[in-house]
Amino acid sequence: MDTCKRCFTLSLVFFMVFFEDLGTNVHGFQGEEQIETTVEDFLDHSPHFTTTQGMYDVEEVADDDDDWQMVQAKGNQFVVNGQPFYVNGFNTYWLMVFAADQSTRGKVSELFQQASSVGLTVCRTWAFNDGQWRALQKSPSVYDEEVFKALDFVVSEAKKYKIRLILSLVNNWNAYGGKAQYVKWGNASGLNLTSDDEFFSHPALRSYYKSHVKAVLNRVNTFTNITYKNDPTIFAWELMNEPRCTSDPSGDTLQSWIAEMAAYVKSLDAKHMVEIGLEGFYGPSAPARTQFNPNSYATQVGTDFIRNHQALGVDFASVHIYADSWISPTISDAHLEFTKSWMEAHIEDAEKYLGMPVIFSEFGVSRKDPGYNSSYRDTLINTVYKTLLNSTKKGGSGAGSLLWQLFPDGTDYMDDGYAIVLAKSPSTSNLISLHSTRVAIFNSRCSWKCRWGCRKKNSLEKFLYRDDL
């Protein structure tokens, strides 16, 4: 279907769905005034699963494999099929491990179905488990085929629900192996390594990592028969989850690793985007920006937001937001102020210095924090969404966000305090759903530009950018 016609159809059916829901005659509206009234009514109804699901059903019907193309970075925006692609997404890191056990595999499908029902389009998850229980990589370049098939299932199932994946390739932390496991493997082979940070500098460990990258990118999915590096279901490759190299606060060691590994990934797969996985701390290359760091320690962990993202082969920037971990575990309005200023600083830098999109790829608040309540969580999510929309309406670099983290019901034993179970969190689900709707409409704005008059488009903009989410 012609892209513009497809967008027009999506937008028209979207309004028909909501007009019918509100008891409005879609053929009888007269000009801008009626549209504005309907949009106001729609916002007051705070739509959730049924209304948004109607719209996403349309896209399911309209889409076929020809439309399922790679997402690319173009300037400071993502695009797919010539359309903007702003992201509303989530994290669920343990999908591969759950898929490896038939008794829990259904939870993967359940999660994607629920995420799709509120319009989430990108999921970030682990494509690693090194030397641990249910390891993917049992030792360097030695893989458990059944666990690899579990990752195949995750990728194939994501496509069924039109959800794209950011696949992270190794952990900075010890969970699921991480750089510490690579050091253990190195010492087991006769090396004399004394620091986990030698993961970044020792040639043997760099080669271990490259071998893993090659194995994942060249994997042929046993469910779809599509090689990972050719699969549009994969949104991007993430070099590492939250890399830090505290042994070298100058940042030189980590910068060298990023430059080498980004180039290596691109040498194997020039089609997909690459991102680093950084938390976003400012470093020595931009001393004036360190004022935005949450604390003084953040300048000493060997990362450097602007410099790191200037490495060739890196397509977009990543930032995490954890005021409750970085500032104080007791939640307060100061956390909201930090979140807004932290985001605005990184959006500005992505525009001014990097010329690329930025995704806030982890954010959330823990129920374990003193002073926590669900209303505060909604306020935090609202702050993130509103800050992104403020960037969107100016054509800025704020390209999306990924909640940490979304869980299906019955997986509470995996909860780190941040889990959101949609069925148990109606107000949060409504908030996510409404933002997804706004993002989806913005992603199909071509219909408003080429088929609709400016007066009607202005009514849409009032819906997209109203402050009271």
In Å, what is the CA distance from 9 to each residue of 37, 48, 64, 191, 441? Answer: 22, 21, 15, 61, 12
Q: Which residue in 187, 203, 185 sits closest to 137, CA to CA?
A: 185
Side chain identity, residue 234: I
Omega of the bond prior to 405 within 30 degrees of 0, cis? yes
Residue with tokens 């309540």: 373
The size of the chain, in residues, is 469
Neighbours of 145 (CB within 10 A): 9
Phi, psi of 37 (to 5 degrees): -60, -45
- Exposure class string for 35-64: b at 16+ Cβ within 10 A, else e: bbebbeebeeeebbbebbbbbbebbeeeee
Contact 173, 241 (CB under 8 A): yes
For residue 40, indicate whether it is catalytic.
Answer: no
Phi, psi at residue 237, to the nearest 5°? -95, 135
337 is catalytic: no
C-alpha dihedral, 431 to 432 to 434 to 440, nearest 10°: 160
For 105-141, b/e burial (b = at least 16 CB within 10 A) is bebbbebbebbbbbbbbbbbbbbbbbbbeebbbeebe
CA distances from 412 to 21, 103, 359, 367, 449 (A): 35, 16, 27, 13, 45
DSSP 8-state assignment for residue 291? G
Which residue is catalytic, options 157, 242, 275, 351?
242
- Residue pair 88/401 in contact (Cβ under 8 Å)? The answer is yes
Angle 241-245-249 from CA coordinates, rounded to 5°:
135
Are 381 and 428 in contact, with CB atoms under 8 Å apart? yes
Closest CA to 206 of 251, 176, 239: 239
3-class DSSP state of 244:
coil
Cα 90 to its chain centre, rounded Å, is: 6
For the annotated catalytic residues, the residue numbers are 242, 362
